[in-house]
Chains A and B, each alone.
Chain A
Amino acid sequence: MRLVLLNMFLSCCAETIGYVFRNNNTWFYNIYIIINILSWIGVFYVLEQRHAKVVIATAIVYAMLWAGYVIKDGINVLANLPMVYGSAIILVFYFMLLLSIFRWYNGNIKQHPLLWICIATLLYYGCSMPMFILLNYVIRERFELGIHIYKINLFFSIIHSFLLAYSFYLARKPHNIQFLKQPYVRH
């Protein structure tokens, strides 16, 4: 839960810094993309505690992919494809986590904070994927429309934050406090 909180804090910082450099912040968002995706992979690694080699290898390959893309197109072009690949990786990992929770948790799953973290992450990264694919094209060809389309991302970002807040609310409940002290997912 602390890692999730750290991720949320990083998001806030990124949005604030992005706003400060609002005239030219693409380079900053390109850096934030790799931090953001790797940190969510990190959260998954801590929660799942399984397939460690696969997770680390995925993170390394992803970092190389991102670096290659940034080197090829330059830091001032939004790295939308690494965003898409990152979202796809997160979708696969958090779907696995969702199934693990369902498999091993014996209580009422709706009261499990990790379930809501999974749903929040799946919704945000899953539903933003189509927009990420076309984002560069839209910004380049139809900038005004791109700004409107970007609101989809804002909408899912708000839902993401609400669901994460709800998961923190659930984590405060006594039975979850006890539960979260143990390994998150049993194997």
Chain B
Amino acid sequence: MSDIDLILAIIIPTLIILLLIAGVVIVIFIANRQRIQQEVKMAQIEVGYEKELRAVESEVQEQVMQNISRELHDNIGQLLTFIHLQLERHKMDAPQQAAELKSIDDTLSTTIQQVKLLGRSLNNDMLEHHGLLKGIEQEVERLKQLKQYAIVFEHDETEPALNKDQRLMAFRIFQEIINNALKHSRAKEIKIDMRGNAAFRLSVTDNGKGFNLEKMMGSAGGMGLRNIIKRANLAGFQSNIDAVEGKGCTFTLEHKGI
């Protein structure tokens, strides 16, 4: 065996093995890249589907709210006004009962006012025409009239630059957060802060019993919160929940892409 034969006898199998290993590694790299691309594609389809689902869900919800709002205004509101007129007539017919009827009249007036405000709060026409700031102001006004909670609303008097869908989503999320605070947290004070000047930022802080966020998100009871976060993300908002057991909760909604 000459030197050249010996060298070739070693180098050729070495090169073959080298090429085989390189081939396997290249195939693995390509297959891995394709798998990642496929996974990204699937994730995009899933996000798109979820987005569509949420959009339909919101649309249906809005439609239901519009119907309830219309019913409150056209039907219940009219009936209450009719009762009010009947009461007024009764007061005129029997002035001696006017004092007794006054408390009923007062309660009825408050009820009419509450129904009117509730109708407006469910209707998004006001949001479209007057903006988010006015919408939240009106909602705060409605809650203040319940006289059960101390509500403070601070803002920079600037309507945030959000599109129609974002405005509606921010308002509905705000309503849900307030509703959660009133229903579950046993809060006595709620502080709302909204900034729209440089970027949109809305925070709702309550002094209720708070909760363990990690535990809550993992439980069935956290579905509402998970939904809020999901909806906020789909509308392009960043949301943050800062909750401590026994020390209340702060929910923040932000949109920096203005």
User: Contact residues of A with B, CB < 8 Å?
Assistant: 95, 98, 102, 106-110, 115, 119, 122-123, 126-131, 134, 138, 142, 145, 149, 152
Contacts and interface: CB of A to CB of B under 8 A. Distances in A.
Contacts of B28: 98, 102, 109, 115
B14 to A, nearest CB: 5
A123 B18 contact: yes
B17 A130 contact: yes
A138 B6 contact: yes
A127 B14 contact: yes
A98 B36 CA distance: 17
B7 interface: yes
B6 A129 contact: no
Given A108-B36, A110-B29, A130 B9 contact: yes
Given A109-B29, A110-B29, A142-B3, A119 B10 contact: no
A98 B10 CA distance: 26
A106 B39 contact: yes
B64 interface: no
Contacts of B32: 102, 108-110
A102 to B, nearest CB: 5
B18 A134 contact: no
B14 A152 contact: yes
Contact of B31 (A102, A130, A149): A102
B221 interface: no
Contacts of B29: 109-110
Interface SS of A by simple majority: helix
B6 A122 contact: no
A50 B258 CA distance: 54
Contacts of B85: none
B223 interface: no
A129 B20 CA distance: 14
Given A119-B21, A152-B10, 14 more contacts: A98-B25, A98-B28, A107-B36, A108-B32, A109-B32, A115-B28, A123-B21, A127-B14, A128-B14, A129-B14, A134-B10, A142-B6, A145-B3, A149-B7
Contacts of B11: 130, 152
**What is the interface residue range for chain B against chain A?**
20 to 34
Contact of B17 (A106, A107, A119, A127): A127
Contacts of B3: 142, 145
A145 B8 CA distance: 13
Interface in B4-54: 6-7, 9-11, 13-14, 17-18, 20-21, 24-25, 28-29, 31-32, 36, 39
Nearest to A149: B10
Contacts of B36: 107-108
29 contacts: A98-B24, A98-B25, A102-B28, A107-B36, A108-B36, A122-B21, A123-B21, A126-B21, A127-B14, A127-B17, A127-B18, A127-B21, A129-B14, A129-B17, A130-B9, A130-B10, A130-B11, A130-B17, A131-B10, A134-B6, A134-B9, A134-B10, A138-B6, A142-B3, A142-B6, A145-B6, A145-B7, A149-B6, A152-B11
A131 B14 contact: yes
The residue among A98, A109, A142 with the most chain B CB atoms within 10 A of its own CB is A109
A106 B36 CA distance: 7
B123 to A, nearest CB: 47
A106 B17 CA distance: 28
A127 B18 CA distance: 6
A129 B14 CA distance: 7
A129 B6 CA distance: 14
A142 B29 CA distance: 41
Contacts of A102: 28, 31-32
B21 to A, nearest CB: 5
A102 B21 CA distance: 15
A120 B216 CA distance: 47
A108 B25 CA distance: 14
Contacts of B9: 130, 134
